[in-house]
């Protein structure tokens, strides 16, 4: 089983790509909406949440855990890898492809405070973007918009415009989505960015990496090569209907066969 978790529903943008890449696998997704957002929280608190959720996923039989949250990856993935014997796949900052492919020499990164402070982001920036001008923008309030289901509203357009317009005016030709919630705002981001700006979503690359790790485990005989695909979604928050609606918006037509639950964690 592949365990997936995020601070809320944003990680569904990663699950979507995982499901597309590995449609026959078994998934358990944890939306920690009861403790969302992670971005402003102290590192120790994020590690605590990531640890509790990981232990829940392992108790349910997870063979791989996908940390589908940039902030949790930045704060906790080293701790998780040092504490549990199963593989973890986290969110890689997609600065590299943006910096390599920029034509203007300027790229924008939209992320949370926690992600910008993370060692992984800083190392990636130093290694791959030293020759690019990087415009960083904390997306304050964007996670909450997605968690409330307000992804295409006047409020969303007002906040997104406030962040994206200055990037475009600065000459960026790539905008990196540094939070898994942000792809749900891509339509609005695109409206302000224009067709000449590439929106970089790292989720497809993460799905390919999980597929590689899974094949390695199967080759080592650590997991079954045959699986009956199933999808379970649980939330620590009270808005189960939002979770169902967002899965329904991105899932295949038979999404109603999926399982949903609320948990106390």
Give the residue numbers annotated as catalytic, written as ranges. 69, 179
For the record, the structure tokens of 240 come out as: 């189960």
Going through 105-219 in order, the beta strands assigned E by DSSP cover 106-111, 133-138, 174-178, 198-200
> Which residues are CB-contacts of 203 (< 8 A; sequence separation ≥ 6)?
13, 14, 16, 17, 180, 183
Beta bridge partners of 2: 27, 64
Q: Count CB neighbours of 17 within 10 A.
A: 21
Q: Dihedral (C-alpha) 65, 68, 74, 78: value to the nearest 10 degrees?
A: 0
Angle between helices 186-193 and 154-169 (to 10 degrees): 40
């Amino acid at each position: 089983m592949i365990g997936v978790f995020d601070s809320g529903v944003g990680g569904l943008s990663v699950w979507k790509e995982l499901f597309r890449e590995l449609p026959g696998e078994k998934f358990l997704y944890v939306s920690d909406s009861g403790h969302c957002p992670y971005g402003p929280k102290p590192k120790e608190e994020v590690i605590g949440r990531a640890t509790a959720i990981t232990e829940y996923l392992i108790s349910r039989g997870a063979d791989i855990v996908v940390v589908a949250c940039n902030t949790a990856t930045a704060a906790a993935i080293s701790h998780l890898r040092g504490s549990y014997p199963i593989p973890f796949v986290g969110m890689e900052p997609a600065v590299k492809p943006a910096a390599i492919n920029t034509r203007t020499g300027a790229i924008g990164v939209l992320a949370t405070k926690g992600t910008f402070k993370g060692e992984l982001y800083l190392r990636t920036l130093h290694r791959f973007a030293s020759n690019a001008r990087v415009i960083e923008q904390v997306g304050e309030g964007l996670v909450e918009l997605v968690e409330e289901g307000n992804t295409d509203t006047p409020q969303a357009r007002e906040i997104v415009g406030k962040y994206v317009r200055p990037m475009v005016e600065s000459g960026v030709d790539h905008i990196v989505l540094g939070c898994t919630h942000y792809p749900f705002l891509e339509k609005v981001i695109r409206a302000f960015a224009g067709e000449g700006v590439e929106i970089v979503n790292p989720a497809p690359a993460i799905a390919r990496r999980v597929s590689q790790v899974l094949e390695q485990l199967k080759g080592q005989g650590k997991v079954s090569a045959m699986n009956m695909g199933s999808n379970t979604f649980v939330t620590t928050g009270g808005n189960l209907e939002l979770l169902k609606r967002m899965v329904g918006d991105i899932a295949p037509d038979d999404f109603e066969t999926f399982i949903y639950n609320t948990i106390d964690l």
